[in-house]
Amino acid sequence: MRDRKLKYIVVVLCSMIFCSCTRVYIDTKPNIPFDSFVQIKAKRYKANCITCLLETGFGSGTVVGSNKILTAGHICAGVREMLNNAAQSEVLDKVLVTVHDDKENIYAAIELDIHPSKDICLMTTDRTLLADPIPIASKSPSRGKVVWSMMAPDGVAGKGLIPVVSGHFAGGDSLMSVFTIPAYPGSSGAPILNIAGEIIGLVSRINKGFHHIVISPSRRSLRDFIFSFK
């Protein structure tokens, strides 16, 4: 009788351990919202020559509204400079700014507003985006928590292709956050996500000496800026 009870207890304990391990695995699988990532492309063409490309730029962004894209402020500032260069040409050059989603749907986009001191920009598209907006997280992660980012480093992204990287939240204050994730030009504006797939930052500045240090506006700064347009 005693042996029977002992076997029963062992079986119950093993079942609890197995369920616990299974639950931990499920809970730690990140939600990566690929459909809500976009690549931003800006191109300036010589007047009356659509094949004569004069300037080009790439960046990353996130769907945060029915026709709104969140990206880095310097991405939009670069578009402004491109437009200024076009205006100063002898014959008005043409500038095209487009956003491309994971299914290669293409939208025309214009700048909505830039927060220059916090390096945040919102762009608006010519029609409703075919993706769900990514929400801003209700709280910042604790130091050391794993984070993820979708990005287009060096312009590498396309239909069914979005590089995903992971790293950790290093800390920050009410104005900025620091993450240890790999990044490269073209990654600017990429969302930084928690395990639930919510935005906790974006790629703003990259450490030149060590490309695994990324500076971001704080989660609160991003939330306040986006909410000011709702």
CATH of the domain at 96: 2.40.10.10
Q: CA-CA distance, 170 to 137, in Å (whole number)? A: 17
Closest by CA position to 95, among listed 105, 85, 107, 103? 85
Domain that holds residue 181: 146-227
Decide: helix, strand or coil at residue 158. strand
User: How many folded domains does the chain comprise?
Assistant: 2
Distances (CA, A) of 107 to 40, 64, 196: 10, 15, 27
Is residue 27, in this structure, part of any structural domain at all?
no
39 CA to centre of own chain: 10
The verdict on residue 70 lying in a domain is yes
CB 55 within 8 A of CB 85: yes
Whole-angstrom distance, CA of residue 85 vs CA of residue 154: 23
d(CA 43, CA 57): 7
Identify whether residues 42 and 114 lie together within a single domain.
yes
Instruction: Give the pLDDT confidence of 179-219 residue by residue, as tens digits.
Output: 999 999 999 999 999 999 999 999 999 988 888 999 999 99
- The least confident of 11-15, 42-46, 53-57, 203-207 is 11-15
Which H or E run includes 107?
strand 106-115
Q: What is the pLDDT of residue 10?
A: 42
Q: Are residues 65 and 119 in the same domain?
A: yes
Per-chain mean pLDDT for the chain: 88
- Look up the pTM and report it: 0.85
For residue 197, the 8-state DSSP code is S
Q: What is the pLDDT of residue 4?
A: 53
**Is the model's pLDDT at 30 over the cut of 80?**
yes
Cα radius of gyration (the chain): 22
Residue at which a domain ends, from 93, 125, 157: 125
Q: Which pLDDT value is given to residue 55?
A: 92
Give yes or no: residues 41 and 119 share one domain. Answer: yes
Strand, helix or coil for residue 146: strand
Is residue 43's pLDDT more than 90?
Answer: yes
pLDDT at 13 over 50: no
Domain boundary among 125, 156, 191: 125
> Are both 74 and 41 inside the same structural domain?
yes
Among 96, 125, 154, the domain-final residue is 125
Instruction: Indicate whether 174 belongs to any domain.
Output: yes
Residue type present at position 109: A
